[in-house]
Chains A and B, each alone.
Chain A
Amino acid sequence: MSGFDIGRLVNFLSQRWETILSLTGQHIAVVAISLVIAMVFGIGLGIVVWNKPVSRSVTVTAAAIAITIPSLALLAILSPILGLGWGPTVVALVFYSLLPIIRNTVVGFREVPRDVLEAARGTGMSATQVIFSTQLPIAWPVILAGVRVAAQLTIGIAAIAAYVAGPGLGQYIFLGLSSLGSVNALNYALVGTVAVVILALLVDGAFVLITRYTTSEGLRV
């Protein structure tokens, strides 16, 4: 077993910090791209179904079922079809992000007070104008909370995607596994894992700020 040595870790870090930064950048990029795509589809779908009981129930149930599928299973099926690397990773991350985003969009839209909606319609706005001027801004904090959950989820899943050559810090974790027994096995896995933890905590903190600055002042508590 390779023991832990702080001196060797420092040495390891100083030699590879550029790679680590670049992997971190990749990790952020793949999660960000996936979240943006998932937001477009998820919020869009949520807006379409939120007031239609049957479609709403079907959509949310489908997303809830989808999210139980183990991520390695999905990645394994996607990779023969989409190849290795970014393709299957982004598709899988979007897939797992949909449930929290759709669900929170539906909840957020349903929580918009009826009288506010009526007042908006009463001013003669079209349905689309009501969505963008009233419903979306009021539901926004709830939707963002869903995106935040999705972000936490996908940061972890992206690490597994390294098995199908996905980008990001997962590569170091698997490098640790494949070099099991060598001097740096522990350092690879440790640096990869801890970097993901730090990233996840930083992103979570960033969401607090994003929520604060993109939420209407009147809705802040």
Chain B
Amino acid sequence: MTSPAAVLLARKSARRKNVVKQFVPLIIVVVSLGALFLWLSMLHLDSIEQRTLNPSYIIARVREHIGLTLLASALVALIAIPAGIIAYASKSKAFRGIALALGNIGQATPAVGLIILIAIWWQTGFFTALIAIVAYSILPVLRNTLVGLEQVSEDVRNSARGMGMTRGQVLRQIELPLASPVILAGLRTSLVFAVGVATIATFINAGGLGDMIVNGLKLQRFPVIVAGAVLVASIALLIDWLAGLVQEAVRPRGL
């Protein structure tokens, strides 16, 4: 049997290695943005390229992109996590079955199809993109919440009940903390996914960095395409990286 002290030591060195590993995405982002900037500054940009590749245009697109992503993810968290908790607490097999089945169909639905369908049905623009992302991400996050709560060990739950915790106390003090890594992993996936859907939101005039990419393609300006792609990839990486840091920071110790 390995001694607890040895386990602790092994964990510590693993954690140090993780710290180095944790900064890899940040380094990649900084290096690629730097390289992009250098490359663009060496190019002689024509008037069409200048219309896109200027700070105010880029900042406006980045702002739209991040705004859409964060707003959609916040809505997803606010709707899907409580819904998952209710689905779990209700112990209703039907509700659970429907949620999981819808979740599977939702996964199979192409985001681009959903967003374009809603646009044709309703209207184009920011709110359509917002609704599409939220609709698409709710079920996976709900499912992660449900699965996260269900995978809490029956023994732990039994002993909590056996000590006289009320159901609410078991949920708040035991089940939710123990399920939080799974729930947060779901949110993290949905955040990264939202960055991607926010990119194709350009197809329905919802702005964002997709505008840059599509402009570049239409006008056949490679620097514009590259700038848009590198920026949006950087945002995706950064958001994933930040979400990972948060996930690590709030992970209950002892797990």
Question: Touching in the complex, A and B, CB below 8 A?
Answer: yes
Q: Which A residues contact B (CB, under 8 angstroms)?
A: 1-2, 4, 57, 61, 65, 68-74, 76-77, 79-80, 152, 155-156, 159-160, 163-164, 170, 173-174, 176-177, 180, 185-186, 189-190, 192-193, 196-197, 200-201, 204
Chain B's interface: helix, strand, loop or mixed, by majority?
helix
The residue on B at minimum CB distance from A74 is B229
User: Known: A68-B192, A70-B196. Contact between A204 and B112, CB under 8 A?
Assistant: no
Q: A189-B120, A201-B108 are in contact. Are A73 and B199 (CB under 8 A)?
A: yes
CB pair A186–B108 under 8 Å, yes or no, is no
In the complex, the chain A residue whose C-beta lies closest to that of B105 is: A197
A69: which of B105, B217, B236 is its contact (CB, 8 Å)? B236
Q: Are the C-beta atoms of B110 and A156 separated by less than 8 Å?
A: yes
Contacts of A170 on B, CB cut-off 8 Å?
A: 110, 112-113
B217 touches A70 (CB 8 A): no
CB-based nearest A residue for B212: A76
Q: Are A180 and B110 in contact (CB under 8 A)?
A: no
B116: interface (CB < 8 Å): yes
Of the A-B pairs whose beta carbons lie under 8 Å apart in the complex, a sample of 27, sorted by A's number, is: A1-B123, A2-B120, A61-B24, A68-B195, A68-B237, A68-B240, A69-B232, A71-B196, A72-B232, A73-B199, A80-B222, A155-B108, A156-B111, A160-B110, A160-B111, A160-B112, A163-B203, A164-B217, A190-B117, A192-B113, A193-B116, A196-B109, A197-B109, A197-B110, A200-B109, A201-B105, A201-B108
A159–B112 CB distance below 8 A: yes
CA distance in complex: A190, B225 (Å): 29
Nearest chain-A residue to B209 (Cβ)?
Answer: A73
Interface size on B, residues (CB 8 A): 46
Near A by CB (< 8 A), chain B positions 190-214 give 192, 195-196, 199-200, 203-204, 210, 213-214
* Interface core residue of A73, A197, A201 (most chain B CB under 10 Å): A73
When the two chains form their complex, are residues A70 and B195 in contact, meaning their CB atoms are under 8 A apart? yes
Query: With A69-B236, A73-B229, A170-B110 in contact, do A193 and B117 touch (Cβ < 8 Å)?
Result: yes
A-side interface mostly: helix
**Which chain A residues lie closer than 8 Å to B119 at the CB level?**
177, 180
B100 within 8 A of A: no
B21 CB contacts on chain A under 8 angstroms = 57, 61
Q: Which residues on the A side are within 8 Å of B213 (C-beta)? A: 72-73, 76
Interface residues of B, Cβ cutoff 8 Å to A: 21, 24-25, 28, 104-105, 107-114, 116-117, 119-124, 192, 195-196, 199-200, 203-204, 210, 213-214, 216-217, 220, 222, 225-226, 228-230, 232-233, 236-237, 240
A65-B25, A76-B229, A180-B119 given as contacts; is B199 within 8 A of A155 (CB)?
no
Report the Cα distance A170→B203, complex, angstroms: 13
Across the interface, B116 reaches (CB within 8 A) one of A68, A70, A74, A189, namely A189
CA–CA, A72 to B232, complex, Å? Answer: 10
Contacts A72-B200, A76-B228 given; does A189 touch B117 at CB 8 Å: yes
Q: How far is the CA of A48 from the CA of B192 in the complex (A)?
A: 29
Query: How far, in whole Å, are A196 and B110 apart by their CA atoms in the complex?
Result: 7
The reply to whether A193 and B120 contact each other, CB–CB distance below 8 Å, is no
User: Are A185 and B120 in contact, with the CB atoms below 8 A?
Assistant: yes
A27 to B240 CA separation, bound complex (whole angstroms): 30
Residues of chain B within 8 A (CB-CB) of A193 are 109-110, 113-114, 116-117
Contacts of B24 in A (CB 8 A): 61, 65
A152 vs B110: C-alpha distance when bound (angstroms): 10
**A-chain residues with CB within 8 Å of residue B104 when the two chains form the complex:** 201, 204
